[in-house]
Amino acid sequence: MKEQLKNVAISAQQALESVKDQQELEALRVRFLGKKGELTAILKQMGSLSPEERPVIGQLANETRAQIEAVIAEKSAQFKSATASEKLRKETIDVTMPGSKKAMGKKHPLNLVLDEIKEIFLGMGFDVAEGPEVELDYYNFEALNIPKDHPARDTQDTFYITDNILLRTQTSPVQVRTMEKQKPPIRVISPGRVFRSDAVDATHSPVFHQIEGLVVDKGVTMGDLKGTLADFAKRLYGEDAVVRFRPHHFPFTEPSAEMDTMCFNCGGKGCRLCKGEGWIEILGCGMVHPKVLANCGIDPEEYSGFAFGMGLERLVMRRFNIDDLRLFYENDQRFLDQF
């Protein structure tokens, strides 16, 4: 039995030397020291020994067990400290590494200028009104004094959905919807998307944006229109902005006009930006046609009003000297980053 114990001690020593991890170590502990382990198997034969041999072998067995236990404890400690330092190594933070910068989003140039325009009109006491993009023919044309055979319909190549339903070609239908819902005094602007079946090029897009304006009250005059819009131009382009009004025609206003600003690039002398004109067209406007007021249930004998409409893209293009409208919709990061 002495021989057997010695052999167990040797094979345990050898096996433990090449153990690679905590799991293997546990397997070896079971193999040598477990209830069905090799050492236990030897001790089970103790009964066959003589009373003199028993304490000698017993002591030897205890020593062997203690020896094996000591090696296991030592190995286990080694593994534990190796795992701990591996964990520390993995979690090390290199504070000298450059930080990763989060890219900040920016406002789209169309929204940048739209927000400015909204702010100007809100400051003048206007509200913001909205209307549907899919609109009835009635609101887009009929109620605005543009009957079925009116030539103005040809200039606005309309996307029809049915005979009566279309994609709005202008934000003017919001005027009608507002006047139907709200009694004067009315002061609203209505920005939004509009649609025309135009082929895409540097100055045309089937989807673009307009900002509509409407003021209705007792005693509103052309003087109020001119004052309000000239003031708007100053707030948008600066105190020395000069404007002029040219007679024009719109079916829903009478009289109608277009407002130009003196070219802020050449100061009226004529340049590439204003195409040699010295003036740049900003918006269409006029006194709301009595028929339009009446269509909306507002008595034109009692009330009068003015309206205006401008294209957002064109304003923004001039503002930032952008010569291709498509840039607004392509969302090229290099373009957007410039604003």
Tell me the residue ranges of DSSP E strands in 153-202.
165-167, 186-195
Q: Where are the alpha helices (DSSP H) in the chain?
A: 2-17, 22-33, 38-43, 53-90, 109-123, 137-140, 152-155, 173-181, 222-237, 290-295, 312-320, 327-330, 333-336
The smaller minimum CB distance to ligand DAH, of residues 195 and 308, is found at: 308
Dihedral sign, Cα of residue 108, residue 114, residue 116, residue 122: negative
Q: Which is nearer to ligand DAH, 33 or 211 (CB)?
A: 211
Q: List, in order, residues 6 or more apart from 1 with CB less than 8 Å away.
A: 42, 45, 49, 53, 57
Q: In whole angstroms, what is the distance from residue 233 CA to residue 315 CA?
A: 11
Closer to ligand DAH by Cβ: residue 152 or 241: 152
Q: Say which amino acid occupies 240.
A: D
Contact mark string toward ligand DAH, 257..276, x via CB under 6 A: --------------------
Q: In the bound complex, what is the minimum distance in angstroms from residue 159's beta carbon to ligand DAH? A: 15
- The span of 9-17, 260-268, 296-304, 306-314 binding ligand DAH (CB under 6 A) equals 306-314
The CB-of-191 to ligand DAH minimum distance in angstroms stands at 12
212 binds ligand DAH (CB under 6 A): yes
Binding status of residue 251 toward ligand DAH by CB under 6 A: no
Confirm or reject binding of residue 286 to ligand DAH (CB under 6 A). Answer: yes
Nearer to ligand DAH, 24 or 231 (CB): 231
Residue 292 CB neighbour total at 10 angstroms: 23
- Identify the residue among 29, 308, 315, 318 touching ligand DAH (CB under 6 A): 308
Amino acid at 59: Q
The length of the chain is 339
The residue (of 25 and 189) whose beta carbon lies closer to ligand DAH is 189
Residue 304 touches ligand DAH, criterion: CB under 6 A: no
Give the shortest CB-251-to-ligand DAH separation in angstroms: 10
The interface region with ligand DAH, picked from 10-18, 115-123, 227-235, 302-310 by CB under 6 A, is 302-310
131 lies in the site for ligand DAH, by CB under 6 A: no
d(CA 136, CA 140) in angstroms, rounded, equals: 6
Binding-site size for ligand DAH (CB under 6 A) equals: 11
Q: Which is nearer to ligand DAH, 285 or 312 (CB)?
A: 285
Spatial distance between the Cα atoms of 307 and 285, rounded to a whole number of angstroms: 5
**Residue 253 interacts with ligand DAH (CB under 6 A)?**
yes
- For 76-91, b/e burial (b = at least 16 CB within 10 A) is eeebeeeeeeeeeeee
Looking at the Cβ atoms of 64 and 175, the one nearer to ligand DAH is 175
170 is a contact residue toward ligand DAH (CB under 6 A): yes
Do the beta carbons of residue 280 and residue 274 sit within 8 Å? Answer: yes
Q: Which residues bind ligand DAH (CB under 6 A)?
A: 170, 172, 212, 250, 253, 284-286, 307-309
